[in-house]
Amino acid sequence: MPRFTARQLAQMVGGRLVGPADVSVQNVRALELAGAGDLAFLRTEARKDDAADCWQITFLAVDKPGLFSNIAGVLALNNINILSADIYTWRDRTAVDVLRVTNPLDQLFAQEKWTKVKEDLKDALTGRLSLDSRLGQQAADSILSGPKRPSRPPRVILDNKSSDFFTLIEVYADDHIGLLYRITHTLFNLHLDIHIAKISTTVDQVADVFYVRDLDGQKIENAKAELQKEVKDYKIALQQKIAKARNELIVQALAQKCTHLLFIDTDQTFPSWTAHAMVSRRLPVVAANVPIKSIPSKPSARNYNPAWWGGDIVDTGPDSTGVQQVWRVGTGIMLVDLSILEKVQKPYFSTDWRVMPDGTEECIGEDWWFCERLEAAGIPIHIDHDVSIRVGHVGNFEFTHALVWAEDQIKAFTDEKEKAIDEKAEADLHRVD
């Protein structure tokens, strides 16, 4: 092994290679090529993981405060979602970040997208690109609803016991555009240095662990409240932008003397005859019962249940047809007869955090807010099962009712098998006795 490479190996945290062995060899080779120069940006490498249907991106750079925040922001700006990440800082301040990310939207031009990511990151690191401004504009331009249900407030755990050298900050929250950037940017604003991070995203939930110290190299004590407030405020700000966009669409539709307004979010799939079918129902409000982006997936429509503030799930089964009145439903695909709005209190769409009857704090999305306004005005809400069966909700893959049915069948089969196993075990036990 060349002497330069041996020196670099000695700089690794704990003397360990970072990530899979082949990635680590590439890391070392990159440093060998870079030499000892004080370059702000050393190397970016992207390769496809066909088995996992994702990409693995490796960033090497001379570490600086806010580096990982900039990486997260640039990926969010390019509509790339981080599935998992391992970031490390070597003793010589070399940052090695190994990320597994979703496929670019246009996979035919994936390499061009990674080139753009690299150029955007250079611009962000040198101050030529304002991520706060661009990500804010991206969220405002996109009417992408969050989960079609109230979401739980973020949970932040501050752990000073698990490590002798670092404070561990654990963040659990609903995923949304730019969340990881917001978390890491808040840590940067709190003058905290991220040395190791473990990022995990499952459908629409994140579980992130950051090993941090202050800029003097000391553990910290009081970042929990500020970080939790920042994540909550950011979620409200994002959903308020969605609510504002929906309200503005209503204003425009009324100004143009439209009779109906059909909301279709950009993450929905739907049949070409959706508008015709919904208008033909001649109802004040009719929506599709869109499956939510979670595993297991469930329909978004709910019926009132006095014992549970979240209501009961309304299923759209293989044989469901016609329309059905419901209590709450998402606005991902919803047709509104605009003549009813004179009865509805403004703002039509908004969002806030509320303490629920069971004592939990929940974020009420703009879709549930609108349903509350309709209920207060005495306006019924219906779902169209014929449309609902054909719609999809695009996340890491397309969530459809066929997926919901398959999950239900698997659960029923599993429950039946577990019951049979339990009964057999119980019978065997009695025979032994």
- Catalogue all structural domains in the chain, each as residue range(s) with its CATH number: 3-235 (no CATH), 256-412 (3.90.550)
Residue 39's pLDDT is 43
* d(C-alpha 287, C-alpha 261), whole Å: 12
The pTM of this model reads: 0.57
Q: Are 346 and 374 in contact (CB under 8 A)?
A: no
DSSP per position, 127-140: TSS-HHHHHHHHHH
Q: Residue 203: left (phi > 0), alpha (psi -120 to 50), or beta? A: left
Given strand 398-400, what is the order of strands in its sheet? 268-269, 392-394, 398-400
Residue 368's pLDDT is 92
Residue 118's pLDDT is 86
The 3-state secondary structure of 51-70, one letter per residue: CCCEEEEEEEEECCCCHHHH
Q: Are 168 and 211 in contact (CB under 8 A)?
A: yes
pLDDT (tens place) for every residue of the chain, 433 residues total? 334 454 454 455 444 444 444 445 555 555 544 544 444 455 777 888 888 788 888 888 877 778 888 888 898 888 888 888 888 777 777 788 888 888 887 777 888 888 888 888 888 888 888 887 777 666 544 433 444 444 566 778 888 888 888 888 888 887 776 788 888 888 888 888 888 888 887 656 788 888 888 877 888 766 666 666 766 676 677 678 889 999 999 999 999 999 999 999 988 999 999 999 999 999 999 999 999 887 778 899 999 998 888 899 999 999 999 999 999 999 999 999 999 999 999 999 998 888 777 777 777 889 999 999 999 999 999 999 999 999 999 876 788 988 888 876 766 667 676 777 777 777 767 665 5
Closest C-alpha among 348, 351, 346 to residue 362: 351
Task: Report which residue type is found at 33.
Answer: L
Q: Are 320 and 313 in contact (CB under 8 A)?
A: no
* d(C-alpha 320, C-alpha 343), whole Å: 31
CA distances from 416 to 281, 411, 413, 420 (A): 40, 8, 5, 6
Q: Are 383 and 323 in contact (CB under 8 A)?
A: yes
* d(C-alpha 274, C-alpha 335), whole Å: 10
Residue 214's pLDDT is 82
* d(C-alpha 232, C-alpha 226), whole Å: 10
